[in-house]
Amino acid sequence: MLQKQENKMGILPVPRLVLSMSIPIMISMLIQALYNIVDSMFVARVSEEALTAVSLAFPIQNLVIAVAIGTSIGINSLLSRSLGAKNIETAEKAANNGIVLGLLSWIVFAILGLTLSKNFFALFTDNPTLLKMGTQYISVCLVFSLGIFIDITCERILQATGDTIHPMIIQSIGAISNIILDPIMIFGLFGFPALGIFGAAIATVISQHISALLAIYYVRRNTEVQIQARFFKLEKKIVLAIYAVGIPTIIMQAIGTLMVTSLNKIIIGYGISAVAVFGIYFKVQSFIFMPVFGLNSGMIPVIGFNYGAKQPKRIMEALKVGISISVSIMAIGMFIFLAFPHVLLSWFNASPEMLAIGIVALPRISLCFLSAGICIVLGALFQATGDGYISMIISITRQMVFLLPSAYFLGKFFGLDAIWFSFIIAESSSFFLSLFFFKQEYTKKLKPLYVKKDPVLVETEETRS
């Protein structure tokens, strides 16, 4: 019983804790990003239309991930805070109710996949090849999305208990499975029929279900929380607590889906090559952003646990460590995008027209990477303390108030090359809003935790710092 109370998130030195929690997630997300790139490289070798179809499908796939991640971040936040406060029953209810919410979410998306896939692609094109490819791809991904909901939910449960090694194994095996299955299913190796983009979708969902089965296995072996049938019944208080953090995150991610869909609508006016380049950007930038999102995921349980345990100094130290790591990663990414855009594009069998567009687009967009890294880390604080709505406000403002309008008007008056500056405009707004809300969050939630402690202890801590 004593071991259960002495969770490492309350006792390990903070730099070591943040690294031990984050590095396995960052590695697994790097592998996931590598899969995203390799997947698109295989699809690009089918045809430019196939790559464009996958690019147009990306927002819908992102919406599935948005709901899965948003719900699981709510689970993660509640579970880690409950463990920090030594409330084991609430932690277990959070985990079990979260699994049920994942199942219900899958049912909704499966129905949407069966009924609305073709209508979605008809918003962008009447090209019969694009329509067929896109509808096949997204229908399979939605109808068989159960794996991704179970996988992400179970990974976040493990992370909230301080276990980041097994989520790394789960994601790695899923991504490697996908990389192996992609060429087999797409090009018809080892006696399999060549299924093209349809095969890419099948490879994706098979690998997601492999990850889900492995995730279930590790969650059932976890000693911090138990999966019990008696907690499967949804409890209003638990569901509301999960979605207090989860819904703002879902909305924030869903706004990203709307943003990409709307930008695709704007960009496709300049031809399918422009859409393909935009799709390539999202795939390649994931290799930079995914580790930072992994850092965010590792920090949420650290901050949530120490917030529940009323340890503000550890929270602030975690933020400083996180920002240092994030800015370093983003600086490397910005350099690569500025110096080698032609190399990045060549990975995707880019046509001369795609190269001409991408050599301008990638360096310009990368100028916002540094500020984006800081915003992602500060978002971990808002989510971990139960104020996920702040991240939602920042995201809506960034994408709907600044990014889309500026992209539309820059494109209308100055052409395609000017559209890419809209990312810099939008990220600047996000940066200043994040700083504003951080100051409020510190004053409202963190500063009072210092004065509630013994004054002698506070004075000693301040002297040492």
Q: pLDDT for 387-443, tens place per residue? A: 878 888 888 899 889 999 999 999 999 999 999 999 999 999 999 999 999 999 888
Q: Are 304 and 81 in contact (CB under 8 A)?
A: yes
Angle 112-114-117 from CA coordinates, rounded to 5°: 70
Convert 245-277 to b/e letters by CB count within 10 Å (16 or more is b).
Answer: bbbbbbbbbbbbbbbbbbbbebbbebebbbbbb
pLDDT digits 0-9 by tens, 321-354: 999 999 999 999 999 999 999 999 988 888 899 9
Report the alpha-carbon distance of residue 140 to residue 136 in Å, rounded: 6
pTM above 0.85, yes or no: no
* Residue appearing with tokens 């129905």: 111
Please check the confidence at residue 3 and state whether its pLDDT lies above 50: no
- The answer to whether position 83 is within a domain reads yes
Length of the chain: 465
pLDDT at residue 223 tops 80: no
Q: Give the torsion sign (CA, 72, 78, 83, 87).
A: negative
- Residue written as token pair 């493990």: 158
SS3 label, residue 233: coil
Count Cα atoms within 13 angstroms, Cβ side, for 231: 19
For residue 124, give the DSSP letter: T
459 falls within a domain: no
If we measure between CA atoms, which residue out of 95, 45, 324 comes closest to residue 196? 45
pLDDT tens, residue by residue, 353-369: 999 999 999 999 999 99
Q: Has residue 407 been placed in a domain?
A: yes
**Residue-range definition of the domain harbouring residue 355:** 9-450
Burial of residue 349 (CB within 10 Å: 0-12, 13-18, 19+) is: middle
Q: How many CA atoms lie within 13 A of 252 on its CB side?
A: 26
The confidence score (pLDDT) of residue 451 equals 67
Residue 150 to residues 26, 94, 462: CA-CA distances in angstroms?
A: 20, 15, 44
Residue 87, helix vs strand vs coil: coil
* Of 400, 463, 450, residue with least CA distance to 251: 400
Structure tokens at 350: 């880019």
Q: Which residues contact 323 (CB under 8 A, 6 or more apart)?
A: 373, 374, 377
Tokens of 111: 């129905």
Alpha-carbon distance of 181 to 58, in angstroms, equals 20
Q: What are phi and psi of 159, to 5 degrees?
A: -60, -40
Residue matched to tokens 């559209």: 419
Eight-class DSSP state of 230: G
Residue 242 within a domain: yes
What's the pLDDT at 222? 77
Measured CA to CA, the distance from residue 162 to residue 201 in angstroms comes to 33
Name the token pair of 207: 């690998």
Count other C-beta atoms under 10 Å from residue 86's C-beta: 12
Pick the closest to residue 207 from 169, 231, 239, 174 (CA basis).
Answer: 174
The answer to whether 32 and 171 are in contact (CB under 8 A) is yes
**464 in any annotated domain:** no
Alpha carbon distance 192, 40 (integer Å): 20
Give me the pLDDT at residue 419, please. 94
| Helix residue ranges per DSSP H, 309-399 | 312-339, 341-346, 352-366, 369-384, 388-396
pLDDT score for 7: 62
Q: pLDDT, tens digit, for every residue of 125-151?
A: 788 888 889 899 999 999 999 999 999
pLDDT above 70 coverage of the chain, percent: 94
In a domain, 1, yes or no: no
- Residue 462 inside a domain? The answer is no
**Domain-located, residue 275:** yes
Q: How many domains does the chain have?
A: 1
